Amino acid sequence: MAELLAAGNVRKMKTDLVAPVSYALPLGDQQLDINPLLGQHLQMQFEGVINCIACARKTRKSFSQGYCYPCFRSLAQCDSCIMSPEKCHYDQGTCREPEWGETHCMIDHVVYLANTSGLKVGITRHSQVPTRWMDQGATQAQPIFRVDTRHHSGIVETLFKDHVADKTSWQAMLKGDAEPVDLEVERQRLMAECAAALQQAREQFGLQSITELQAVEETRISYPVLEYPAKVKSFNLDKTPLVEGTLMGIKGQYLMFDTGVINMRKYGGYELSVTRIN
């Protein structure tokens, strides 16, 4: 027997920091609670329609996790400096949307250490803590700096890249939890290794632009997983519009089935239906 649970345009999963993390999948006007579906046989069907997550127009192809091509080319949130904030060009007067930049980039950001597939450095808006960590599948996270703009957070992150990873290996993250790391010890190590470069950045941008956060209590995060996959196989809705299998776990923005994994954030704006097979 098939039971339609929800249908509509996808947005990235919403999270709540409890133990384990609680997930809800937005589908149109509905929000489907995912945790209770663990261990159940599900079908996810792509209905062949994609609507831009910014302007809602239909698009044959999705860009940058859910945008139509005109929005991808015109919106500040799709500019290259979002992925590489050290390349921010707001001060040059060439920001695509200066007002958007003022409300999203010219505000406090956090530079943090996290344990995802291993130790990494990352940045996020202060308001996105701890959401960003859950979206990345981190099991540990600790803020190490508060900075006054996204640009400056990118500068600090770049200083650390020679000493620690700045990306997550999503395949490794989905195979299980990384070995625990003493984040405070790692913070102190990185501070010593980057001391000269950090001082130079403060002298360039102002002493108040980069504030060190000392010995902040780390956040521990657990995820609802019945069993991790031995081999990570990723579904592609553009090639295979039907995903079917038993839901074995949820981590980051991934749903893990016994038949493969799917990154729900990648398919923002896709029209999906989710059906339970009893």
pLDDT at 162: 87
Instruction: For residues 123 and 215, state if they share a domain.
Output: yes
> Are 179 and 156 within one domain?
yes
Q: Which of 195, 220, 245 is the last residue of a domain?
A: 220
Decide if 103 is inside a domain: no
pLDDT tier for residue 37 given thresholds of 50, 70 and 90: very high
Give a yes or no: residue 215 inside a domain.
Answer: yes
Residues 207 and 234 grouped into a single domain? no
* Position 237 in a domain: yes
Q: Are residues 213 and 268 in the same domain?
A: no
Task: Verify that 124 and 203 share a domain, yes or no.
Answer: yes
Q: How many structural domains comprise the chain?
A: 2
Considering the entire predicted model, what is its pTM?
0.96
- For 197-231, how does the pLDDT look when each residue is reduced to its tens digit (9 = 90+)? 999 999 999 989 999 999 899 999 999 999 999 99
Residue 25 lies in a domain: yes
134 and 57 belong to one structural domain: no
pLDDT single digits (tens) 145-159: 999 999 999 999 999
Q: Is residue 90 part of a domain?
A: no
In a domain, 91, yes or no: no
In a domain, 92, yes or no: no
Would you state the pLDDT for residue 107? 97
3-state SS record for the chain = CEEEEEEEEECCCEEECCCCCEEEEEECCEEEECHHHCCCEEEEEEEEEEECCCCCCECCCCECCCECHHHHHHCHHHCHHHHCHHHCCHHHCCCCCHHHHHHHCCCCEEEEEEECCCEEEEEEEHHHCCHHHHHHCCCEEEEEEEECCHHHHHHHHHHHCCCCECCCCHHHHCCCCCCCCCHHHHHHHHHHHCHHHHHHHHHHHCHHHEEECCCCCCEECCCCECCCCCCCCECCCCCCCEEEEEEEEEECCEEEECCEEEEHHHHCCEEEEEEEEC
pLDDT at 207: 87
**pLDDT tens digits, one per residue of 102-126:** 999 999 999 999 999 999 999 999 9
Q: Which domain holds residue 40?
A: 2-67+223-277
